[in-house]
């Protein structure tokens, strides 16, 4: 199995919709202020980075690597029922991680081609977010060059100001080891999830698989749809360029390219 670096995918953006055209046009401008885009991208980045962290641990364990966490400051414990990872102010790919993750199930290992774990957190902070809640992670190693992970999340993210973001939904991460250092996506993501911020719930759905490549911190292609208050908008990430831009189509049908 090929060795690869930890990749953080940043999925997401904020849009707000209203009923009248005038209100909609006003909110189109307001919904894409740099502050709002940054806040939403940070929330998505926190969750996606965590998913990558856990899937990397399982891939490294399956491959028999001695350093399964790719860091010297994490303590890894295996029992007959669980895998426990304790981080002590570790910095991994620019993310500061502290606290404990426990993966319970599958006899505490990645034996077999398929299995699942319940993932829980204790005093766990990830890049200044305090995480509470659970994840259910199912793995499928049937294809050694293309493992897949189905991740169901029901969690909250609390920032330094005590503001709570509720994150619920599911994703499927598919790795494509045979495409690493070649044409095509190294990893793709599909799924749908809800993020509730300030009492407003944003419903996200991937309509064309989001793609990324090792060595690029951005989504390189794919389309994400957002529905809020019964209105729909979308963000198209392009066709393969490694950049931080996309084309937004607003609820009133207007489109523009944005960067964040």
Under DSSP, is residue 47 helix (H, G, I), strand (E, B) or coil?
helix
Does the residue 71 lie in any domain? no
Q: Is residue 120 part of a domain?
A: yes
Q: What is the pLDDT of residue 166?
A: 93
- Residue 19, pLDDT score: 26
pLDDT at 17: 26
Q: What is the pLDDT of residue 64?
A: 85
Cα–Cα distance, 70 to 67 (Å, whole number):
6
For residue 80, tell me if it sits in a domain.
no
Determine, yes or no, domain membership for 17: no
In a domain, 21, yes or no: no
Q: What is the pLDDT of residue 11?
A: 34
Domain count, the chain: 1
At residue 47, the pLDDT reads 67
* Domain span holding position 229: 36-66+89-259
Q: Can you give the pLDDT at residue 10?
A: 33
**What pLDDT does 170 receive?**
95
Q: Classify residue 47: in a domain, yes or no.
A: yes
Question: What pLDDT, in 10s, does the model give residues 199-257?
Answer: 888 888 999 999 988 777 678 899 988 787 777 878 898 888 888 788 888 777 778 88
Residue 220 within any structural domain of the chain: yes
pLDDT tens digit string along 80-92? 999 999 999 998 7
pLDDT at residue 66 in the model: 74
- pLDDT (tens place) for every residue of the chain, 260 residues total: 433 333 333 333 322 222 233 333 434 444 434 344 445 555 666 566 778 788 888 988 888 887 777 678 899 999 999 999 999 999 876 778 999 999 999 999 999 999 999 999 999 998 888 999 999 999 999 998 899 999 999 999 998 899 998 999 999 999 888 887 777 788 899 999 998 888 888 888 999 999 988 777 678 899 988 787 777 878 898 888 888 788 888 777 778 887 76
This prediction's pTM: 0.79
For residue 6, tell me if it sits in a domain.
Answer: no
pLDDT at position 99 is 96
């Amino acid at each position: 199995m090929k060795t690869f670096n930890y990749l953080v995918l940043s999925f997401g953006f904020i849009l707000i919709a209203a009923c009248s055209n005038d209100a909609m046009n006003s909110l189109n401008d307001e919904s894409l202020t740099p502050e709002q885009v940054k806040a939403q991208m940070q929330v998505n980045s926190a969750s996606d980075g965590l998913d990558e962290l856990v899937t990397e641990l399982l891939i490294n364990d399956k491959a028999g690597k001695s350093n399964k966490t790719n860091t010297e400051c994490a303590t890894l414990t295996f029992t007959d029922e669980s895998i426990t990872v304790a981080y002590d102010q570790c910095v991994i790919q620019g993310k500061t991680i502290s606290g404990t993750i426990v993966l319970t199930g599958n006899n505490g290992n990645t034996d077999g081609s398929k299995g699942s774990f319940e993932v829980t957190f204790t005093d766990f902070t990830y890049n200044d977010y305090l995480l509470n809640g659970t994840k259910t992670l199912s793995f499928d190693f049937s294809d050694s060059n293309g493992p897949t992970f189905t991740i169901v999340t029901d969690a909250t993210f609390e920032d330094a100001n005590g503001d709570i973001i509720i994150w619920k939904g599911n994703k499927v991460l598919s790795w494509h080891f045979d495409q690493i250092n070649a044409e095509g996506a190294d990893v793709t993501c599909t799924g749908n999830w809800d993020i509730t911020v300030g009492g407003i719930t944003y419903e996200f759905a991937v309509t064309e698989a989001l793609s990324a490549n090792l060595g690029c911190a951005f989504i390189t292609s794919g389309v994400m749809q957002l529905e809020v208050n019964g209105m729909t908008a979308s963000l198209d990430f392009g066709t393969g360029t490694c950049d931080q831009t996309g084309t937004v189509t607003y609820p009133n049908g207007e489109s523009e390219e944005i960067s964040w």
